[in-house]
């Protein structure tokens, strides 16, 4: 996949298929440590030890609609290609956590991609599942929790056209502000 956001979307879809009602998506970009960490944790069905052992095998899938499962194997290969790793922790009945680590400046690291569109698609496609999104760039944090949004909206659905437009702008501006704040911190005082 050409963008890491597509790997995250695949993991989010797996969590939804596993019956998750809450999914945490975290991105931590630490340029000083030269590390990018992507984490998705859910409260879905979880996996037994045998499934967990086989989940990164491209010829294994629990889905009935296809015979191969390339999502996690490709995500793992992308991380390992960039001096990183992919780990998966899971317990039946408790959920699953997928954590991918990348060397931030590795020449083969795919760009993060369009996270606002990725998140919006995930948020709007499954109303029964809440998503908490945390994105850190060099210590600055942007966070969105759809459960809090739903409560603030008082029953107005996230899919309402005005809410959807606001949410898309909010996600774009929030994520872009992380990079703007980081650029200001690293600029010379006379450039501010």
Centre a 10 Å sphere on the Cβ of residue 93 and count the other Cβ atoms it contains.
8
Confidence bin at 180 (pLDDT 50/70/90): confident
Total residues belonging to the chain: 192
10 Å CB burial of residue 175 (0-12, 13-18, 19+) is: buried
10 Å CB burial of residue 22 (0-12, 13-18, 19+) is: middle
Is the CA virtual torsion 79, 48, 96, 130 positive or negative?
positive
Q: Record the pTM.
A: 0.87
Computed over every residue of the chain, the mean pLDDT equals: 88
Compute the average pLDDT of residues 148-162. 92
The tokens of 136 are what? 């850190």
Look up the CATH architecture of domain 4-191.
2-Layer Sandwich (3.30)
Residue 175 has pLDDT above 90, yes or no: yes
Q: How far is CA 120 from CA 73, 79, 90, 101, 137, in A?
A: 25, 24, 26, 24, 20
Helix axes 4-17, 71-81, angle to 10 degrees: 140
pLDDT in tens, 98-119: 999 999 999 999 999 999 999 9
Please name which of 166, 168, 95, 178 lies closest in space to residue 135, comparing C-alpha atoms: 178
Confidence bin at 59 (pLDDT 50/70/90): low
Q: What is the Cα–Cα distance from 80 to 77, expressed in whole angstroms?
A: 5
Which residue reads 């490709």 in tokens?
74
Going from N- to C-terminal start, the domains of the chain cover 4-191
Identify the pLDDT of residue 127.
66
Q: What is the 3-state secondary structure (H, E, C) of 155-170?
A: CCCCCCHHHHHHHHHH
pLDDT in tens, 24-58: 999 999 999 999 999 999 999 999 888 888 777 76
Strand partners, 145: 132
């Amino acid at each position: 996949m050409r963008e890491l956001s597509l790997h995250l979307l695949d993991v989010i879809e797996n969590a939804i298929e596993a019956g998750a009602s809450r999914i945490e998506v975290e991105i931590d970009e630490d340029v000083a440590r030269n590390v990018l960490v992507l984490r998705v944790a859910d409260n879905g069905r979880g996996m037994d030890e045998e499934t967990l052992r086989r989940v990164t095998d491209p010829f294994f899938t629990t889905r009935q609609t296809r015979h191969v499962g390339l999502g996690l194997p490709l995500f793992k290969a992308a991380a390992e290609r960039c001096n990183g790793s992919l780990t998966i922790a899971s317990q039946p009945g408790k959920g699953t956590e997928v954590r991918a680590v990348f060397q931030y400046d590795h020449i083969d690291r795919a760009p993060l991609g369009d996270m606002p569109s990725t998140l919006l698609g995930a948020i709007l496609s499954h109303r029964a599942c809440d998503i908490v999104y945390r994105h850190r760039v060099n210590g600055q944090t942007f966070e969105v929790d759809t459960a809090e949004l739903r409560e603030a909206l008082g029953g107005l659905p996230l899919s309402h056209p005005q809410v959807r437009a606001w949410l898309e702008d909010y996600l774009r501006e929030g994520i872009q502000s992380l990079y703007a704040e980081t650029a200001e911190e690293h600029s010379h005082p006379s450039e501010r």
